[in-house]
Amino acid sequence: MPLLVQKYGGTSVADADRIRAVADHVARTRRTGADVVVVVSAMGKTTDDLVHLAFEVSRTQPTREVDMLLSAGERISMSLVCMALADLGVEATSYTGSQAGIVTDAAHTRAKILDIRADRLRDTLAGGGVPVVAGFQGMSLERNVTTLGRGGSDTTAVALAAALGADACEIYTDVSGVFSADPRIVPEARKLNRVSYEEMLEIAASGGRVVALRSAEFARNHSVPLHVRSSFTWEPGTWIVEEDAQMEAALVTAVTHDVSEAKVTVAGVPDRPGLAARLFRALSDHDVNVDMIVQNASLHGTTDISFTVPGDDLEVGADVCRGLLPELGASSVSTDASVARVSLVGAGMKTHPGVTALTFETLARCGINIEMISTSSIRISCMVRSEAVEVAVRALHEAFDLG
């Protein structure tokens, strides 16, 4: 019997009607003869609401307690989905992350999965039942509840699909697949039928949050076929699979954007070996994820180093830099949260020059200044002012004829 993992995001279980629709779809899938494991997110904006509540109550927010709080959201949806399934005569059992055997490290609010001990899920499946698992959460070796970072239910689903040897992992969401750009910003964006793991990774890493980055990594590393599709229309969506000969390597597959990054500049850094190493080691020791880095040529023996970090890491990152000023002999630290990144992703870039030139020409035509640039073999990213990013996405989508 085929085994499917079906993950339902927040909008897919946002209210009672949506939960009944999900249960109906699970029951239909069971009737086709497939075994199903369900993974659910918290209802609607529940996680955001809990995050705000924590800010209202506390300045310190011990991360163990944050995880305890946030994990409550997914518990609500899993039990309601099981109740709705019971009404349809489908035997279903809910499991928290820890009950599902999802073992993580102890990094609260951004835990990584270490192991999956899925015997209880296997037992439920063997008994003909449907396990319904709370996404986004696990348990550390010290037996504390942990969460996997925002969007982490995708990771739960893909990790379970890998552990259980599922035939596919279906990610149900509020759009009908992965598009050539965020359809909320570019209404004429095109749904992609097939995307390679490598492209999906770059799309997720550069802001296309339709699939969380960690889950895209997990899917590639364990060759889990992903099917991103709509829980509103149930039409076939986008398959994320190994790159193959049938897949024409499009020059550009998607334009993505990310407004959650921020920029830090350390000015007047003496131009000596070892100083950049010292700076970025300290940032890494504080778990600050650095993305783009720009260092100017030194004019009078000093240079400015700018880099980007996730907005959530801005304060810590800037504090680390300020603390190092005397040791580095640098003059100042400044921050800028009003930046955004626009990126082009496409496997065809590997072999085609000219993408960079057309990208820069397009942004220039819109009067958009490029503050930083970074590339990989299948991606080009430009940092621009955040108020210009939507114009940039639309212009690039049109320039590369992606509609």
- Indicate the residue among 104 and 156 with the shorter CB distance to Mg ion: 156
* One-letter identity of residue 207: G
Phi, psi of 215 (to 5 degrees): -75, -30
> Binding residue for ligand ADP (CB under 6 A) from 38, 162, 254, 318?
254
Calculate the CA 101 to chain-centre distance: 23
174 binding ligand ADP? (CB under 6 A): yes
Q: Minimum distance between the CB of residue 282 and ligand ADP, rounded to whole angstroms?
A: 32
- Indicate the residue among 183 and 310 with the shorter CB distance to ligand ADP: 183
Q: Minimum distance between the CB of residue 202 and ligand ADP, rounded to whole angstroms?
A: 11
Burial class (CB in 10 A: 0-12, 13-18, 19+), 72: middle
Question: What is the C-alpha separation between 305 and 268, in angstroms, rounded?
Answer: 8
User: How far lies 368's CA from each of 250, 346, 395, in Å?
Assistant: 26, 22, 11
In the numeric block, the tokens 């590393």 are attached to: 221
- Tokens standing for residue 295: 């260092």
Q: Minimum distance between the CB of residue 389 and ligand ADP, rounded to whole angstroms?
A: 13
Q: In what order do the strands lie in the sheet with 238-241?
A: 92-95, 130-134, 35-40, 3-8, 168-173, 226-230, 238-241, 194-196
Q: Minimum distance between the CB of residue 173 and Mg ion, rounded to whole angstroms?
A: 7
Contact segment (CB under 6 A) with ligand ADP among 78-86, 170-178, 243-251, 382-390 equals: 170-178
208 binding Mg ion? (CB under 5 A): no
**Ranges within 198-227 binding ligand ADP (CB under 6 A):** 208-210
Contact segment (CB under 6 A) with ligand ADP among 169-177, 286-294, 311-319, 379-387 equals: 169-177
- Indicate the residue among 21 and 349 with the shorter CB distance to ligand ASP: 21
Question: What is the C-alpha separation between 345 and 367, in angstroms, rounded?
Answer: 22
44 binding Mg ion? (CB under 5 A): no
Q: Is the separation of the CB atoms in 350 and 199 below 8 Å?
A: no
175 binding ligand ADP? (CB under 6 A): yes
Question: What is the C-alpha separation between 81 and 282, in angstroms, rounded?
Answer: 45
Q: Minimum distance between the CB of residue 173 and ligand ASP, rounded to whole angstroms?
A: 10
In the numeric block, the tokens 């490598």 are attached to: 198
Q: Minimum distance between the CB of residue 397 and ligand ADP, rounded to whole angstroms?
A: 10
Which three-class secondary structure state does DSSP give residue 92? strand
Closest residue to Mg ion, judged by C-beta, is 151
65 CB-near residues (< 8 Å, 6+ apart) = none
- Indicate the residue among 42 and 344 with the shorter CB distance to ligand ASP: 42
151 binding ligand ADP? (CB under 6 A): yes
- Binding-site ranges for ligand ASP (CB under 6 A): 9-10, 41-42, 47, 73, 135-136, 150-154
- Indicate the residue among 76 and 290 with the shorter CB distance to ligand ASP: 76
> Binding residue for Mg ion (CB under 5 A) from 101, 151, 237, 346?
151
**Ranges within 13-52 binding ligand ADP (CB under 6 A):** 41
- Indicate the residue among 135 and 177 with the shorter CB distance to ligand ASP: 135
Name residue 344's beta-bridge partners: 255, 380
Q: Is the separation of the CB atoms in 316 and 288 below 8 Å?
A: yes
Q: Which candidate, 316, 306, 308, 234, places its Cα nearest to that of 269?
A: 306
From Mg ion, ligand ASP, ligand ADP, none, interface partner of 400 (C-beta below 5 to 8 A by class): none
For the chain, how long is the longest CA-to-CA vector? 77
Q: Minimum distance between the CB of residue 226 and ligand ADP, rounded to whole angstroms?
A: 13
H-helix or E-strand containing 52?
Answer: helix 46-57
- Indicate the residue among 154 and 170 with the shorter CB distance to ligand ASP: 154
- Indicate the residue among 204 and 283 with the shorter CB distance to Mg ion: 204
184 binding ligand ADP? (CB under 6 A): yes
- Indicate the residue among 42 and 393 with the shorter CB distance to ligand ASP: 42
Question: What is the C-alpha separation between 298 and 291, in angstroms, rounded?
Answer: 22
* One-letter identity of residue 162: A
- Contact footprint for ligand ADP (CB under 6 A): 9-12, 41, 151, 173-175, 178-179, 181-184, 208-210, 254
- Contact footprint for Mg ion (CB under 5 A): 151
